[in-house]
Chain A
Amino acid sequence: MTDASDAATQFPLGQAKRGYSGVIRRIAADACDSALSATELESRLIELGFVEGARVTVLHEGAVGHDPIAVRVENVTIAVRRREAMAIMVS
C-alpha cells in the first residue's frame, strides 16, 4: 500500500483529459469495474507496456463520451477504454 500523502496526488488515467502527461505509479486492477478479472486485467495492461515508471501521454479521445483514449506509453500508442484505464494510477 502507498501512504496517504502519495496516494492523494495519484489519480486514475481513466479520468485524464486529452493532453495529460504523467508517470504510472501503480496498477490498481482490483479497484476497476472491468469485465476482466483483476489479475487478467493487470496482466494485459503490463503486456501492453503499462508498468510502474512508464511515461504516459493522452493523445486522443473518442467522439462519444471522450472514450476510448489513445495513450502514448513510452514510444508505443495504445487505445484503451476509460473503464480499463481506471486501473492505471498516474501522477
Chain B
Amino acid sequence: MEAPLLHFALVGTPNSGKTSLFNALTGSRQKVANYPGVTVERKEGFFVTPQGRQVSLVDLPGTYSLRGRSPDEEITRDMVLGREPGEALPDLVLCVADATNLRLTVRLVLELKATGRPLALVLNMFDIATRRGVAVDVPGLSAALGVPVVTSIAVRKGGTDKLLRLTDEIAAGGKAPAGENRWQPLTAAQLRANQREADRIIGEHVSLPTRPDTWTARIDAVVLHPVGGLLILALILFVMFQAVFAWAQPLMELLSSSFGALGQFVHAKLPDGLLQSFLQNGVISGVGSVVVFLPQIVIIFLFILLLEDFGYMARAAFLMDRIMGGAGLHGRAFIPLLSSFACAIPGIMATRVIDNRRDRLTTILIAPLMTCSARIPVYTLIISAFIPDEQVWGWFNVRGLVMFGLYAAGIASALLMSFLIKFFMLRDYQPAPFMLELPDYKLPRLKSIVLGTYTRAKMFLQRAGTTIFSMMVLIWFLASFPQPPAGATEPAIDYSIAAWIGKTLEPLLAPVGFNWQIAVALIPGMAAREVAVAALGTVYAIEGGKEAAEQIGQMLATKWSLATALSFLVWYIFAPQCASTLAVIRRETGSWKWMAVTFFYMLTLAYLASFATYQIAKALGAG
C-alpha cells in the first residue's frame, strides 16, 4: 500500500529565504491559487523524499508571530492551528530561518512550540552564514529548543539533502504524536519574555559573525543617500519605463498583428456571416486584446522580482514612504502605481507586495487613474485634431502642455481619491505604520526569477483571461446584434444594441457634450481604451480603423466642438473604460463589490469632470 501523502507547512519571517527553499524543494511542481474569500495567495508544491515519500508543502505567508494582524498572517495562524476550513492539519511545520539572522525566527519557534504541532527549524542560507564566520552549534541549538534543526542552502544543488533525510526520518517514525495546543495570542510581556529567551539561547549556541556583510553597508551608503538615493531610484524607474514602452512594443505589435492575421485568415476561410464575425471579432480579437498585454506584464514582473530578490524594493519603499505618506499611501504602493502608467493590469497585480489589506485596496482603487499607455492613442488623436501646434511662453508647445496636464490631472485625482478613501471608506481599518525590515542584499537567482515571472504570466492568462474574454464576447454581442437589415446603408453598428444604448444614453450624455456617436463608441471602447478610436472611425463610417487615425481626426474636427473634444479628453482621464482592468480588480480583491466601487466612483468622477469642462468651455465660447 502506498504511504499517505504527508502535509508540511513552511513558516518563517519575511526575508527568511522561505520562498527560495520552497522553490528548491518543489521546483516547477507548484500550484498557485487563493484561499477562499481572501486575496491571500495559496502556494502549494510537491516533492518526493529519497525513500519515495510524497510530500505536499504549503508556503505560508511570512510572519513575525502568530498574532494574525493581517489577513495573510491570519492564514498562517489558522493553517498551523488547523483552523483553516478545508485544509489538512500539517504533519510537520518547517520553520525557516536566515542563518545569518536568527533572533526573530528563534522567538517565532518558541511561539510555534506552544501549538503542539511537530516542528523543525531549517537554518537556510547556511553558506552565507559560514562565509561571514557565524558558527552554529546545531545539536546544542536543537537540544535547547527541543526541536530538530537542520542546515540548508536552498540555492545550491544538494543544499536541501539534510532536510530531505530529516523528512524521511520523521516519516519513518509514523505521524508524530501532536502535543497539546497551548497556544494563546501573546501579550507584549510574553513576546518580550520570548525574545529574551531566544536571545539567551542564541547567545549560548551561535557565535556572532566575525566578517560582517560589508557589501550591504556599502551599497546602502549610496542607495539610501537622501539625494543620491532618489536619483538612483529615478534612474531605475526610467530604465524600467523604457523597457516597458520600448522593449515590449515590438513584441506587442507582433502579437497584435499575428492575431490580426489569424482573424484575416478566419475571415477568408469562412463564409460571411455570424460565425465568421464571432470568431474574428469576438473570439480572436477578444483573446488577442488580452494576450497583447503579456509582454508588458512579463517585463514589469521581471523588474519587480529582480528588485525584490535583490533586496531593493524595501529600500524604494523607504525612500518614497514620506513622499507617498502625505496622500495616505504606503511606501510600498509606489512601484504598483508607477507600473500603472504602462498598464493598470500589471500595476494592480503588483500590489501583492503591499501586505496590509487597507493599503493594498487603496492602491488598487486608484491605480486605474494613472494614465496608462492605452489612453495615449485617444489623447493624441483628439489633441492633434483640436489643439493648435503652437509655442507659448517661448518654450512650451501647447499640445505638449495639454498632454502633460492630462497626466498631471490623473496623478492629482489619484492622490485626492486616496485621501478620500482614507477618510470615508476605510476609516475603521487600522492603518499600517511603516515598519519594514531592510534585508541584506542578495544576488537574485535565475531560477526563482524565471519561476516567479512564469507563475504571474500564467495567472494573468488563465484567470484574467476567462473574465476578460467573456466581457469581450459580450461587447461583440452588443455591437453586432441585431444584424443590419438587407440593403442597409449605414454602418452595421448603427443597427445594434450598442447603438440603441448609445441613443438611449444620449440625453444623459448631452450635458457633458457627447453626441450619440460618442456614446456608441464608448461601448466597444470598454474592451480597451484605444478601441474607441477605431470605433469612432466605424460610427463615422471611415474605412481602415486605426490606420486612418489622421482622417478620423480631420473628420472629428468638423463634427465636434472644441468643448466636446475637451470634455472627451477629460472623460478619458477618469472613465472606467477598460473591462480588463475591472476584471483584474474583481480577481485581485476577490469581490464584485470593489469592482463595482471602482466602476462607479470613476464614472462619477468622469461625468462630473466632463460636465464641468464642457459647461465652462461652452460659457467661454468654445461650444
> Which residue numbers of A lie inside 8 Å of B, CB to CB?
27, 34-36, 39-49, 51-53, 59-65, 67-68, 70, 74-81, 83-84
Contact present for A68 and B322 (CB under 8 Å): yes
Chain B residues near A52 (CB, 8 Å)?
A: 192
Chain B residues near A39 (CB, 8 Å)?
A: 187-188
Tell me which of A36, A43, A76, A84 contacts B437 (CB under 8 A). A76
Tell me which of A35, A46, A80, A84 contacts B191 (CB under 8 A). A46
Convert B215-247 into 0s and 1s, putting 1 for each residue whose CB lies closer than 8 angstroms to a CB of A.
011001000101101100000000000000000
Contact present for A84 and B433 (CB under 8 Å): yes
Tell me which of A27, A46, A62, A81 contacts B433 (CB under 8 A). A81
Contact present for A35 and B318 (CB under 8 Å): no
Convert B96-129 into 0s and 1s, putting 1 for each residue whose CB lies closer than 8 angstroms to a CB of A.
0000110110010000000000000000000000
Tell me which of A51, A60, A79 contacts B436 (CB under 8 A). A79
Chain B residues near A80 (CB, 8 Å)?
A: 433-436
Tell me which of A36, A43, A53, A64 contacts B323 (CB under 8 A). A64
Contact present for A67 and B322 (CB under 8 Å): yes
Contact present for A75 and B220 (CB under 8 Å): no
**A68-B433 Cα distance, complex, nearest whole Å:** 11
Tell me which of A51, A65, A68 contacts B318 (CB under 8 A). A68
Contact present for A43 and B103 (CB under 8 Å): no
26 A/B residue pairs, CB under 8 Å, sorted by A:
A35-B430, A35-B433, A43-B188, A43-B191, A44-B435, A46-B188, A49-B195, A51-B192, A51-B195, A51-B196, A60-B224, A62-B226, A62-B321, A63-B226, A63-B319, A68-B318, A75-B100, A75-B209, A75-B212, A78-B435, A78-B436, A79-B314, A79-B317, A79-B435, A81-B434, A83-B433
Contact present for A63 and B314 (CB under 8 Å): no
Tell me which of B107, B186, B314, B322 contacts A65 (CB under 8 A). B322
> Which residue numbers of B lie inside 8 Å of A, CB to CB?
64-65, 67, 69, 100-101, 103-104, 107, 186-188, 191-192, 195-196, 199, 208-209, 212, 216-217, 220, 224, 226-227, 229-230, 314, 317-319, 321-323, 430-431, 433-439
Contact present for A49 and B430 (CB under 8 Å): no
Closest to A41 in B: B433
**A64-B438 Cα distance, complex, nearest whole Å:** 19
Chain B nearest Cβ from A65, distance in angstroms: 6
Tell me which of A34, A63, A79 contacts B438 (CB under 8 A). A79
**A27-B224 Cα distance, complex, nearest whole Å:** 27
Chain B residues near A49 (CB, 8 Å)?
A: 103-104, 195
Closest to B132 in A: A75
**A53-B195 Cα distance, complex, nearest whole Å:** 11
Chain B residues near A40 (CB, 8 Å)?
A: 69, 430
Chain B residues near A34 (CB, 8 Å)?
A: 433
Given A47-B64, A64-B323, A70-B438, answer yes or no on A76-B226 (Cβ-Cβ < 8 Å).
no
Tell me which of B103, B107, B192, B220 contacts A59 (CB under 8 A). B220
Tell me which of A46, A70, A75 contacts B195 (CB under 8 A). A46
List 16 extra interface pairs beyond A34-B433, A64-B322, CB under 8 A: A35-B430, A39-B188, A42-B188, A44-B435, A47-B64, A47-B104, A48-B437, A51-B196, A52-B192, A53-B199, A59-B217, A60-B224, A70-B224, A75-B103, A77-B216, A79-B436
Chain A nearest Cβ from B472, distance in angstroms: 43
Chain A nearest Cβ from B185, distance in angstroms: 9
Chain B residues near A44 (CB, 8 Å)?
A: 69, 433, 435
Closest to B326 in A: A64
**A27-B192 Cα distance, complex, nearest whole Å:** 10
Contact present for B101 and A48 (CB under 8 Å): no
Tell me which of B64, B321, B430 contacts A36 (CB under 8 A). B430
Chain B residues near A53 (CB, 8 Å)?
A: 199
**A42-B187 Cα distance, complex, nearest whole Å:** 10
**A77-B438 Cα distance, complex, nearest whole Å:** 5
Closest to A42 in B: B188
Contact present for A74 and B224 (CB under 8 Å): no
Chain A residues near B433 (CB, 8 Å)?
A: 34-36, 41, 44, 80-81, 83-84
Chain B nearest Cβ from A60, distance in angstroms: 4
Contact present for B101 and A76 (CB under 8 Å): yes
Chain B residues near A48 (CB, 8 Å)?
A: 64, 104, 435, 437
**A84-B434 Cα distance, complex, nearest whole Å:** 9
Chain A nearest Cβ from B211, distance in angstroms: 12
Closest to B185 in A: A43
**A85-B100 Cα distance, complex, nearest whole Å:** 25
Closest to B63 in A: A47
Chain B residues near A74 (CB, 8 Å)?
A: 103
Chain A nearest Cβ from B500, distance in angstroms: 51
Chain B residues near A65 (CB, 8 Å)?
A: 322
**A64-B331 Cα distance, complex, nearest whole Å:** 13
Chain B nearest Cβ from A32, distance in angstroms: 10
Closest to A67 in B: B322
Contact present for B435 and A63 (CB under 8 Å): no
Chain B residues near A61 (CB, 8 Å)?
A: 226
Chain A residues near B229 (CB, 8 Å)?
A: 63
Chain A residues near B227 (CB, 8 Å)?
A: 63
